[in-house]
Amino acid sequence: MGKLARLTDGLVNLVANLGTPRDKASASRYGLPMLTEQDASNAYRGTWLARKIIDIPALDSCRKWRSWNAEQDQISAIEEEEKRLGLQVKLLEAHIKARLFGGAALYIGTGDTAAAAPLDPARITKGGIRHLNVLTKRVLQAGELDRDPESPNYGRPAHYTLSSATGGQVEIHPSRLVVLHGAHRPDPDMEAGDGWGDSVLIAIMDEVKRADSTSANIASLVFEAKVDVIKIPGLMAMLSDKVTEAQVQDRLQLAAMLKGINGTLLMDTEEEYEQKSANFANLSDVLLTFMQLVSGAADIPITRLLGQSPAGLNSTGEGDIRNYYDRISSGQELVLQPALQVLDECLVRSALGARPPEVFFSWRSLWQTSDTERATIGKTTADTIKTIADTKLIPEDVLSKVAVNMLTEAGVAPGLESEMEEFTRENPNWQEEQDAEERAALAVAAAGQADQPNANEE
């Protein structure tokens, strides 16, 4: 039989001991960091860095909220229903607690006594959602994971149990909850978890501690920024006697009292006085380096985390903020929107009494364009539509729908799509009438051009 050779992928240097057991780096291993809920709560309440790391992404995910695409009266009804339920505020609260503790949920209160049964959005009538409650993982325990491969809830808890001192235990079906996780665990099967995620502070807390420690040490150095040094001949001999020791203390207290910024220091001819100052030249760079590590660990631009202007010549920080806003937008579409799917179906029915298929929403952009940028976008979009129309390659009916969609998505004319649909319903033959008017105008113009040569001949 042949020998089995162990295959390694990496740099190995036997002379320099790189990649060998003698390499000190080869002994490095990653262990699971421990952060209890009490530790996370203390950090959130005790250090501003941890609080901002938790709050900023959650706040940015909810502060601009979303815009509904529907009839104006339908939009007003849905927005009023959101305000009545406090959806935006409660989602922000749940998002913050999920990031801090590892999980939280919104309970959709419909008045049903059978909370363990699935929630059917089709049964929700107008005003059917009575309230929304924020539940944390401390009171909401996840049950066993669903292992039915035919279940749409596969790999997630099959039920949740709400525990309270007064109400006992209540089993809740997952469809009645908007479940939010903090930092997702890679595989629930690898560890005996609790059905929730981890606090986002687990992977960041070491960098936060280093930054806080560095800041505290620099603050302590401020007290040692200037030290007065007085050399007194025979000081040790004077301190050996209680009487002379008291005299030395009185002497130094009097000198310190008389001395000031503009005062005078009285000294004996044999005494020497000098000042020693601490050097703070590079400490700001050291602290900034630790803050940058915190910024990278939290995935928040340092300009947003610290609220400072970007450093560097001609640096605006626009690229960093745009990338950060793109990440927040991705989280809205990939995390919040799927979690809100059942609630949104119930919300529309609770607001309108029905579920029109044409009603949908989009998340508002966090990036606010200037008036000049909006004007440029509008002009570019209009020029593009005109160029396409001049080619005559696309039928006018199709181009009209495409133009409405382009103007709506570009933000040039918000609400244009719904207004066009309403106008089309009220005026189904508007395109034919417009074409007839254009043909009549062309005929009049052609007749005018035909009469012009006759007038010239006369």
Q: What pLDDT, in 10s, does the model give residues 180-218?
A: 999 988 876 555 667 898 999 999 999 999 999 999 999
Burial class of 307 by CB neighbour count within 10 A (0 to 12, 13 to 18, 19+)? exposed
Residue 151 lies in a domain: no
2 falls within a domain: no
pLDDT per residue over 71-103, tens digit each? 889 999 999 999 999 999 999 999 999 999 999
Q: How far apart are CA 406 and CA 380, in angstroms?
A: 11
Q: DSSP state, 174?
A: G
**Claim to verify: residue 38 and residue 88 sit in the same structural domain:** yes
Residues 310 and 258 in one domain: no
Q: Does residue 5 lie within any of the structural domains?
A: no
Digit-coded pLDDT (tens) for 325-378: 999 999 999 999 999 999 999 999 999 999 999 899 999 988 877 777 778 888
Write the CA distances from 257 to 225, 250, 260, 383, integer angstroms: 19, 10, 8, 79
Last residue of a domain, one of 309, 336, 364: 364
* Count of structural domains within the chain: 3
Element (DSSP H or E) covering residue 418: helix 416-426
Q: Under a CB-based contact definition with an 8 Å cutoff, are residues 107 and 133 in contact?
A: yes
Q: What is the average per-residue pLDDT within 152-162?
A: 89
Task: For residues 360 and 301, give the distance between their C-alpha atoms in angstroms, rounded to a whole number.
Answer: 32
Range of the domain at 381: 369-451
Query: What is the reported pLDDT for 208?
Result: 95
**Residue 240 and residue 101 share a domain:** no
Contacts of 382 (CB under 8 A, 6+ apart): 412
> Could you tell me if 103 and 56 lie in one domain?
yes
Helix (H, G, I), strand (E, B) or coil at 353: coil
Listed residue (100, 93, 175) closest to 135, CA to CA: 93
Are 198 and 336 part of one and the same domain?
Answer: yes
Main-chain dihedrals φ then ψ at residue 37, nearest 5 degrees: -65, -35
φ/ψ of residue 421, rounded to 5: -65, -40
Same domain, 306 and 378: no
Task: Give the pLDDT score at 6.
Answer: 53
Mean pLDDT of 110-126: 92
Per the CB < 8 A criterion, the answer to whether 139 and 165 are in contact is no
Exposure class string for 163-184: b at 16+ Cβ within 10 A, else e: eeeeeeeeebbbbbbbbbbbbe
Q: What proportion of the chain, given as a percentage, has pLDDT over 90? A: 41
Q: Is residue 160 part of a domain?
A: no
Tell me which H or E stretch contains 244. Answer: helix 242-258
Q: Is the domain of 190 the same as that of 233?
A: no
Together in a domain, 332 and 383:
no
Residue 412 falls within a domain, yes or no? yes
Rounded mean pLDDT, 236-243: 86
**pLDDT the model gives residue 315:** 59
Binned at pLDDT 50, 70 and 90, residue 282 comes out as: confident
Q: Is residue 12 part of a domain?
A: no
Closest by CA position to 364, among listed 332, 395, 390? 332
d(CA 95, CA 336): 9
